[in-house]
Amino acid sequence: MKKVITYGTFDLFHVGHIRLLKRLRSLGDYLIVVISTDEFNALKGKKSFFSYDERKEIVEACKYVDEVLPELTWEQKREDIINSGADILGMGDDWKGHFDEFSDICDIIYLPRTEDISTTQIKQELSIITPENLKQLEQSVHTIFSIVGSLSGVNK
């Protein structure tokens, strides 16, 4: 059985994550996803929208994933690869070259990211929503419902 292992935060799970996991799973028979814990994210200066337990549950629900483990430190990768019996370490190509040091124990594959989608991009787009924007959006939605209702005869 060929095993593939990958690492990530997997916050705000989106289609880019799904496509990456699907491609990674196609490289082998068993996919292990190692997710950064909240404590490890804090050490990296990051904060996830969803907690580790929530992110783990979301990733475990993905049909391409066979096992989810916690990432506690940068240094655990070699031990994880060896202990899991992983044949391939697969990562997004934004990490190209960063994990070549493990080529003595497994194959390293960097896959292209899904274009036009990233957690960072989603967070940036969500950050521009203000109470004023939300109020305008709500008014627009009510106006649209009103127009659709009048056109369909619902309001008659």
CA-based nearest residue to 84, from 124, 32, 37: 32
Task: Give the torsion through C-alpha atoms of 90, 5, 44, 117, to 10 deg.
Answer: 50
123 included as an active-site residue? no
- Beta sheet of 30-36, edge-to-edge order: 67-71, 30-36, 3-8, 88-92, 107-111
Average pLDDT over residues 121-143: 70
Task: Name the maximum alpha-carbon separation found in the chain.
Answer: 73
Per-residue pLDDT of 53-108, as tens digits, reads 999 999 999 999 999 999 999 999 999 999 999 999 999 888 999 999 999 999 99
Can you give the pLDDT at residue 156? 46
22 included as an active-site residue? no
Residue 145 predicted with pLDDT over 90:
no
* Active-site residue (options: 2, 44, 96, 135): 44
Q: For residues 21 and 31, is the Cβ–Cβ distance under 8 A?
A: yes
Q: For residues 8 and 33, is the Cβ–Cβ distance under 8 A?
A: yes
Determine the length of the chain. 156
Residue 154 predicted with pLDDT over 60:
no
* Active-site residue (options: 2, 46, 123, 135): 46
Q: Is 4 helix (H, G, I), strand (E, B) or coil?
A: strand
